């Protein structure tokens, strides 16, 4: 279903944009870079993606979606915008969506061990939702087609993230190492030079400022009061 949504869904939306003359924004992903051999990742990097792995439906689905966007742009003159979104977090996320920040905060609030996938040294960069929305709006309102990386270049290992959540929410909780999923990228960090230059955008909210805002929202929804 993931690849069908990315391919057929993008085709359907491009058909609609063509019919009504609309500008269309594709929220692509840092996953187009796969398990990168270049660090940090600039938009010019073509990526290192396994086409037949368990995660390929997402990586390749988004890569095809970008291809379709540019095909329609070149062939039909559709106004397109492509954002390559890196890890994003904030209030109102699905509590059990399986994303690492949601997992850690929910686990800490429930008093469960924080499960870090091995080896724990893999890195991610976390952008707070308000910064992300600002970047997307600037891209949509500007004259650049993209693709443009939108993300926070602050880079953290999964162990560092777990330690930060532990310290902020429940200092006595355990951190437990578990087996990893196949094709998990070892590192993720956006090169946001292009976003700075053409959008005048860079993130403002640091991880230590954003996590408590997400914690507050999760506490309300889980019914866990602060001791």
| Residues catalogued as catalytic | 58
Q: Three-state DSSP class for 47?
A: coil
Among residues 96, 81, 74, 105, which one has the least CA distance to residue 25?
81
The CA dihedral of 92, 83, 38, 53, to the nearest 10 degrees, is: 70
| 130 contacts 205 by C-beta, under 8 angstroms | yes
């Amino acid at each position: 279903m993931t690849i069908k949504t990315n391919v057929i869904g993008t085709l359907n939306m491009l058909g609609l944009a063509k019919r009504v003359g609309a500008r269309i924004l594709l929220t692509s992903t840092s996953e187009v870079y796969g398990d990168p051999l270049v660090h940090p990742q600039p938009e010019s990097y073509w990526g290192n993606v396994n086409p037949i792995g368990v995660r390929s439906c997402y990586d390749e689905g988004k890569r095809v979606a970008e291809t379709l966007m540019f095909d329609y742009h070149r062939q039909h003159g559709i106004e397109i915008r492509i954002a390559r979104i890196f890890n994003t977090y904030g209030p109102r996320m699905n509590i059990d969506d399986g994303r690492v920040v949601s997992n850690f905060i929910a686990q800490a609030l429930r008093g469960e061990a924080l499960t870090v996938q091995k080896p724990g040294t893999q890195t991610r960069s976390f952008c707070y939702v308000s910064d992300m929305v600002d970047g997307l709006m600037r891209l949509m309102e500007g004259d650049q087609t993209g693709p443009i990386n939108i993300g926070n270049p602050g880079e953290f290992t999964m162990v560092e993230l777990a330690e930060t959540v532990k310290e902020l929410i429940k200092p006595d909780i355990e951190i437990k190492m578990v087996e990893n999923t196949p094709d998990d990228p070892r590192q993720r960090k956006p090169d946001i030079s292009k976003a700075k230059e053409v959008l005048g955008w860079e993130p403002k909210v640091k991880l230590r400022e954003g996590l408590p805002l997400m914690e507050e929202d999760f506490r309300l929804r889980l019914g866990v009061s602060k001791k």
